């Protein structure tokens, strides 16, 4: 069984998904961050594959991508790091990245190797749903990898249903019309969250973008199964002298 | 749009052969979809045509002359014509596209315009039409380009635009484009993004190509009127993203006897690591929302290109051109920084025209192709050289 399915079977509320960029702040940081997140009770870890042109990301994650690339992070190295951690990390790991590096690696090989490295789901925000359905679905299915698609406040009902149909594990609900790490609260955001709550989807929803602390996390959890924190965590570990204790502090401050 | 003719226009999914598509995050989908659904309807409406024709004629100064270059013709032993896009208002072909797109934006009831710019020509052309139509204008420009293109920054500001420095990544055109895309994600309802080249997600490559196609449509008429000739034997244009080349080729693409010649910027030389010749150095990849040829590492990270001409300093190429390249319908040549400089000085001395550095790459191809006496060769002189005087002054 896919670890994401196990998780959502067991836990319906307050699911905390933390994003970190592979190779940031140091090339081997995943080896510290992943166990620390698990120990502190994060439910899912979303590992970012660094890319030179991350168009859906705000300044904080952009900077972490640049730094990770300068540190020498690549998909083969990332998978190798995950492989070495897979016996000690039991919570689901999902990979988030832009399509181009994955295409260059080869999407079929990527799915196969991701599964081997213990990955449960994949988010590729610039992979159009139509293209996925036409070409890539079998590779995901064969490797029991959950494809996770995004919806935004502007997404039509028809497309929300399409995203739900194609996704498994969960659907990623972007909280506002923004790139990652923004403080923007759209007028009508509560309205949008209420709408999310009322949707009868087959998948649970996790809210991401702009979730940064206890208040925003709890607010999102009122309406959906949980939420995703990215930029705020990246910012927290940016200048950390001790990533393990910074991670512990950060998770505690969100969960308390 | 049709399924058959995939050389000049994309299929219903936005593909020219295997290139194109719309690889965008979901947050952009409603905007791009709104445009996709409406662009053909809007640009074929009588109201649009009337207003666009009037602006192109009375405001932009079209048709631009097709000038028979006597001295160059004598030198190369053939008939050489220059399509004088350099005589357009704002100094380059870029205004053909911004006039079209501002009218589309108004039709879609957008009141805020964003654009990216490299050398500043597209930024100026966008700021110009925004001033004309009274719309807010924000232009993203790489921090490095802002430093090296000060006069164009001043022009945009004088025209009322806000110029926002792109400080991410390599701080040039690629990053300015990223920032414009991010702005659009953050402003999904009131904003139209005027992309300056035949790049980006479908329908941009097709829409921009259609707006620039006025270039080849005029060439065809003018050759007929001035020289009694139905088809040129060669049309030559420089290619960065490829908007002037798309316009110059457009009405000749399906006429196989017309040779299409695209000239890329080789920078310091194809194999020096300082080049922008995407068809020579690129592989299939995704950049700024479409699948095309991209200069990238084996890991799929986009490489920063180099060209002396800021307008050709782009690590990708429009999907239309990628398809013309891979189907061998067009030949792709390249000119180095030095060859382009030489061609610019040569044109200035021989014909009394100072070309933009971009256009100088197209001129440099004249000495790379063997022409016959009876050939009729059209070179697109996409822009004028005023903006490049700082560079030219170093070589005087």
> Using one digit for the tens of pLDDT, what is the confidence trace for A9-65?
999 999 999 999 999 999 999 999 999 999 999 999 999 999 999 999 999 999 999
Alpha carbons B183 and A9: distance in angstroms, whole number: 38
**What average pLDDT does range A120-146 have in this prediction?**
97
Asked whether the beta carbons of B304 and B310 are under 8 A apart, the reply is: no
Total structural domains within chain B: 2
> Using one digit for the tens of pLDDT, what is the confidence trace for B39-59?
999 999 999 999 999 999 999
**What average pLDDT does range B141-149 have in this prediction?**
89
In this prediction, residue A186 carries a pLDDT of: 66
In this prediction, residue B170 carries a pLDDT of: 79
pTM for the full predicted model: 0.97
Residue B2 domain-assigned (yes or no): no
Is A57 noted as a catalytic residue in this protein?
yes
Is B83 noted as a catalytic residue in this protein?
no
Same domain assignment for residues B26 and B151: yes
Active-site residue identified among A43, A46, A113, A164: A46
Q: Read out DSSP for B57-99?
A: IIIS-PSPPEEE-HHHHHHHTSEEEEEEGGGSGGGBTHHHHHH
What is the pLDDT confidence band of residue B93, given thresholds at 50, 70 and 90?
very high
Mean pLDDT of chain B: 96
Our CA dihedral for B367, B372, B378, B381, rounded to 10 degrees, sits at 20
Domain coverage including residue A189: 14-255
Same domain assignment for residues B111 and B236: no
**What average pLDDT does range A185-195 have in this prediction?**
82
Please say which residue of B180, B208, B236 terminates a domain: B208
In this prediction, residue B229 carries a pLDDT of: 96
Mean pLDDT of chain A: 96
Min Cα distance B276 → chain A (Å) is: 17
Is B185 in Cβ contact with A56 (below 8 Å)? yes
Position B3 pLDDT exceeds 60: no
> Using one digit for the tens of pLDDT, what is the confidence trace for B201-256?
999 999 999 999 999 999 999 999 999 999 999 999 999 999 999 999 999 999 99
Q: State whether residue B372 is helix, strand or coil.
A: coil
Taking contacts as CB-CB distances below 8 angstroms, the residues of chain A near B181 are: 55
Assembly ipTM: 0.95
Token reading at B323: 């398809």
Q: Does B299 touch chain A (CB under 8 A)?
A: yes
In this prediction, residue B4 carries a pLDDT of: 53
Alpha carbons B56 and B54: distance in angstroms, whole number: 6
Residue A5 domain-assigned (yes or no): no
- Residue A174 to residues B54, B93, B193: CA-CA distances in angstroms? 43, 39, 21
- Residue B349 to residues B75, B121, B186, B355: CA-CA distances in angstroms? 13, 25, 49, 11
Residue closest to A25 by CA, chosen among A68, A60, A78: A68
In this prediction, residue B2 carries a pLDDT of: 46
Strands B330-336 and B112-117: unpaired
Residue B201 domain-assigned (yes or no): yes
Taking contacts as CB-CB distances below 8 angstroms, the residues of chain B near A125 are: 25-26
Same domain assignment for residues B147 and B193: yes
CATH of the domain at A107: 3.20.20.70
Total structural domains within chain A: 1
Same domain assignment for residues B123 and B223: no
> Using one digit for the tens of pLDDT, what is the confidence trace for B152-177?
999 999 999 999 999 987 788 999 99
Residue A6 domain-assigned (yes or no): no
Residue B5 domain-assigned (yes or no): no
Position B76 pLDDT exceeds 90: yes
Q: Report the percent of chain B where pLDDT is more than 90.
A: 95
**What average pLDDT does range A100-107 have in this prediction?**
98
Token reading at B66: 């097709």
Q: Does B231 touch chain A (CB under 8 A)?
A: no
Residue B79 phi/psi, 5° resolution?
A: -105, 115
Same domain assignment for residues B80 and B187: no
Domain coverage including residue B369: 62-92+213-393
What is the pLDDT confidence band of residue B1, given thresholds at 50, 70 and 90?
very low
In this prediction, residue B5 carries a pLDDT of: 52
Same domain assignment for residues B187 and B256: no
In this prediction, residue A185 carries a pLDDT of: 67
Q: Report the percent of chain B where pLDDT is more than 70.
A: 98
Residue B284 domain-assigned (yes or no): yes
Same domain assignment for residues B159 and B278: no
């Amino acid at each position: 069984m896919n670890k994401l399915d196990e998780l959502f079977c067991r836990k319906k509320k307050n699911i905390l998904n933390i994003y970190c960029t592979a190779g940031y702040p140091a090339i081997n940081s995943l080896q510290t961050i992943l166990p620390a997140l698990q120990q502190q009770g994060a439910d899912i870890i979303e590992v970012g594959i660094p890319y030179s042109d991350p168009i859906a990301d705000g300044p904080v994650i952009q900077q972490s991508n640049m730094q990770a690339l300068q540190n020498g992070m690549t998909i083969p190295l990332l998978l190798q790091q995950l492989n070495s951690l897979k016996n000690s990390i039991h919570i689901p790991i999902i990979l988030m990245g832009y399509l181009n590096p994955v295409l260059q690696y080869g999407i079929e090989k990527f799915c196969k190797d991701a599964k081997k490295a213990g990955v449960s789901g994949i988010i590729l925000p610039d992979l159009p749903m139509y293209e996925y359905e036409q070409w890539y679905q079998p590779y995901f299915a064969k490797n029991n990898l959950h494809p996770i698609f995004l919806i935004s406040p502007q997404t039509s009902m028809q497309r929300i249903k399409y995203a739900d149909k194609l996704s498994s594990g969960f659907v990623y609900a972007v909280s506002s019309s923004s790139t990652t790490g923004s403080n923007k609260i759209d007028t009508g955001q509560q309205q949008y969250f209420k709408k999310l709550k009322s949707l009868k989807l087959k998948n649970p929803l996790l809210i991401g973008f702009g979730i940064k602390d206890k208040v925003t996390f709890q607010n999102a959890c009122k309406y959906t199964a949980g939420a995703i924190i990215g930029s705020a965590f990246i910012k927290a570990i940016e200048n950390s002298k001790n990533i393990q204790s910074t991670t512990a502090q950060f998770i505690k401050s969100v969960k308390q | 749009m049709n399924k058959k003719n995939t050389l000049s226009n994309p299929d219903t999914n936005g593909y020219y052969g295997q290139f194109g598509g719309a690889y965008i995050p979901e947050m952009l989908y409603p905007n791009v979809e709104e445009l996709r659904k409406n662009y053909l309807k809007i640009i074929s409406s009588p109201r649009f045509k009337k207003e666009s024709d009037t602006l192109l004629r009375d405001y932009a100064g079209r048709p631009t002359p097709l000038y028979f270059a006597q001295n160059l013709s004598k030198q190369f032993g053939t008939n050489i014509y220059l399509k004088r896009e350099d005589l357009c208002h704002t100094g380059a072909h870029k205004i053909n596209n911004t006039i079209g797109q501002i009218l589309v934006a108004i039709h879609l009831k957008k009141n805020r315009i964003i654009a990216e710019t490299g050398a500043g020509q597209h930024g100026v052309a966008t700021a110009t039409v925004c001033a004309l139509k009274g719309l807010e204008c924000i232009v993203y420009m790489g921090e490095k380009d802002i430093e090296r293109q000060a006069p164009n920054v001043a022009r945009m500001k004088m025209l009322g635009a806000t110029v926002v420095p792109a400080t991410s990544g390599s701080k040039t055109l690629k990053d300015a484009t990223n920032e414009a895309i991010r702005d659009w994600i953050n402003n999904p309802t009131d904003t139209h993004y005027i992309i300056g080249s035949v790049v980006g997600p479908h329908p941009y490559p097709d829409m921009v190509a259609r707006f620039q196609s006025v270039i080849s449509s005029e060439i065809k008429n003018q050759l007929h009127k001035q020289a009694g000739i139905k088809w040129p034997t060669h049309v030559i244009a420089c290619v960065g993203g490829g908007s002037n080349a798309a316009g110059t080729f457009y009405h000749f693409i399906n006429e196989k006897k017309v040779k299409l010649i695209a000239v890329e910027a080789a920078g310091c030389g194809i194999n020096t690591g300082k080049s922008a010749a995407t068809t020579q150095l690129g592989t299939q990849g995704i950049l700024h929302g479409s699948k095309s040829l991209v200069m990238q590492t084996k890991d799929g990270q986009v490489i920063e290109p180099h060209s002396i001409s800021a307008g050709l300093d782009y690590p990708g190429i429009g999907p239309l051109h990628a398809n013309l390249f891979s189907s061998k319908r067009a030949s792709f040549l390249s000119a180095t920084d030095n060859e382009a400089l030489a061609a610019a000085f040569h044109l200035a001395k021989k014909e009394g025209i100072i070309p933009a550095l971009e256009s100088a790459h197209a001129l440099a191809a004249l000495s790379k192709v063997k022409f016959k006496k009876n050939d009729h060769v059209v070179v697109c002189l996409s822009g004028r050289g005023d903006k490049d005087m700082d560079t030219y002054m170093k070589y005087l």
